[in-house]
Structure 1
Amino acid sequence: MSKVLITGANRGIGLGLTKTYLANGYDVHATYRDSAHAKELLDLARHNHRLQCHGLDVTDYPAVNKLASQFSSLDIFISNAGYYGAKGNGLGHTDVDDWRYTFEVNTIAPLKWVESFYQVLKQGKEKKIACLSSKMGSINDNQTGGAYEYRSSKAALNAVVKSLSIDCEPWGISVIAIHPGWVKTTMGGAQAQIDPLTSAHGIFDVIDKTNLKKSGQFFNYDGSRLVW
């Protein structure tokens, strides 16, 4: 049975991915930060023996290392947890501490998780890493400016993904960045274009079709390739 690990799975896209991978026969390990905001995920686990939930903050790296020590193998790692940053921090109003935290969650944490789990990914069958990025991290696609904290953190994540794809290639591990679409979540807002399950189904298909030839690339949830 293939095994997937998904961070930030308590709501939105992460919860949608959890449901999608369960529906496709995977054993799913899902992380959440606060049980008070993970009721649906924890209820799902109580009724599905193939779902195991782990409560931890994605920036608590000793806890991440401890979690990794419980795995003998892993097929897919999906870095989904993310933080947009405080709204309204435009030019002249950037918050340095909030910017640092945005980078911690969106850029540093995904790499630290890979550092903890790449040894067990080497023992898996599928050997895939997917980091949820954003078109807002695309330098070429930036036509509106602003969102300095979020844009810069996702652009940096894309650079991390590219480097990881090169470093992980000798072990047969593919690494990609995925834009999940504009999704109706707490971050995306009610005016967004698609629901979390639509995004999750698209992300599942993109990851399923990923191989070493596609490693180091940036994809939309519909499978189309995006520019950095």
Structure 2
Amino acid sequence: MPCVLITGASRGLGLEWARQYAEAGWQVLATCRRPEEADALRELAARHASVGVHRLDVTDSEQLRTLQLDLADLAVDILLNNAGVYLDKFMGDLGGLDYEVWLRSFAVNTLGAVRVTEAFAGQVARSERKLVVAISSHMGAIAEIAEPGHYAYRSSKAALNAAMKGIAQALAPRGIGVLLLHPGWVGTRMGGSQAMLTPAQSVRAMRALVDHFGPGMNGRFLRFNGSEIPW
């Protein structure tokens, strides 16, 4: 049975990734910060014996080390770095920036994904599929910035892209691929009610890219529909 480890799986895209992989017969290691409050995820686990729910705050090195030890004997086919925050969505522009929010955005969106990738690279290397996926955003594409604002979110995703591009080179000798994906504008708590895609539609499209991953896709930054995003 192939295995996927998903961060930020309590709701939204992460929960949908867990649902679709569980229904496809995968072993799902679903992580979130507060499992006791993740009712939808626990309901999914109750329906599928292959779903395990684990506590993980991607900014907490001790929790990450504990999870790494708990799962040390497993091979992880796909490591899915989905956990993320958009804390400055409604913040002001220059003159009203909150630098603590900016630091928190980097801690989760950038460093969190790198920490998890570093911790589980060994388990990914032991698997058959050997793939690391990072859920990024087109807002991290510097070439596509056409308006002010959203500095913390944009820069944290741009930094994630840069880090993962380098990590793709570092992991390639171990046979591990890295893929960066923009899920589109999705109707989650982050995306809002006016979004164009449902979580099911977005994840279904991204899963198709993951399923067809090949060496030529390593380190690339793609939209959910497969089109390339400029850096």
TM interval, shorter chain, is: over 0.9
Matching residue of 2:109:
106
The CA deviation string for residues 175-200 of structure 1, in whole angstroms up to 9 with x for no partner, is 01100100111111101111111111
For residues 198 and 37 of structure 1, do their structure 2 counterparts lie closer, same or farther at Cα, with a shift above 3 Å needed?
Answer: farther
Residue 44 of structure 1 aligns with an amino acid whose one-letter code is L
Matched, 1:71 2:72: yes
Q: Give the aligned partner of residue 216 of structure 1.
A: 219
Return the offset for 1:145: 2.4
User: What is the aligned partner in structure 2 of residue 84 from structure 1?
Assistant: 86
Provide the TM-score with structure 1 as the length reference. 0.97
Query: What value does the CA root-mean-square deviation take over the aligned residues?
Result: 1.1
1:40-51 matches, within 5 Å, as 40-51=40-51
Given that residues 76 and 128 in structure 1 are in contact (C-alpha distance below 8 angstroms), is that contact kept between their aligned partners in structure 2? yes
Q: Which secondary structure does the structure 1 equivalent of 2:57 belong to? A: coil
Aligned-partner SS, 1:213 = helix
Matched residue type, 1:39: D
Q: Distance in 2 between matches of 1:130 and 1:214?
A: 11
Asked if 1 retains the 8 angstrom alpha-carbon contact of 2:58 and 2:115, the reply is: no
Percent sequence identity is: 38
Q: Deviations over 1:37-87 (max 9, x none)?
A: 410110110121100010221111121122122232111000001000132
Q: Distance in 2 between matches of 1:164 and 1:89?
A: 33
Distance 1:177 1:218 in 2: 5
Amino acid at match of 1:66: T
Q: Secondary structure at the match of 2:226?
A: coil
Aligned residues: 228
Which of the residues 181, 192, 195 maps onto 2:195? 192
Distance 1:7 1:48 in 2: 18
The offset of 1:32, in angstroms, is: 1.3
Indicate conservation of the 8 Å contact 2:113/2:134, yes or no: yes
Q: Deviations over 1:17-47 (max 9, x none)?
A: 1111112221100011123541011011012
* Structure 2 unmatched runs, 5+: none
Structure 1: distance between partners of 2:140 and 2:111:
15
Does 1:152 find its partner at 2:150? no
For 1:5 and 1:92, the matched residues in 2 are separated by 40
* Equivalent pair of 1:181/1:220 in contact (CA under 8 Å): yes
Q: 1:210 is aligned with what amino acid?
A: F
Shift of 1:89: 3.4
Q: Distance in 1 between matches of 2:214 and 2:94?
A: 40
Q: Give the match for residue 176 of structure 1.
A: 179
Structure 2 counterpart of 1:30, one-letter code: A
Whether the aligned pair in 2 keeps the contact of 1:136 and 1:154 (CA below 8 Å) is yes
Q: Which moved more, 1:149-158 or 1:29-38?
A: 29-38
Structure 1 gaps, min length 5: none
Distance (whole Å) between structure 1 residues aligned to residue 203 and residue 210 of structure 2: 10
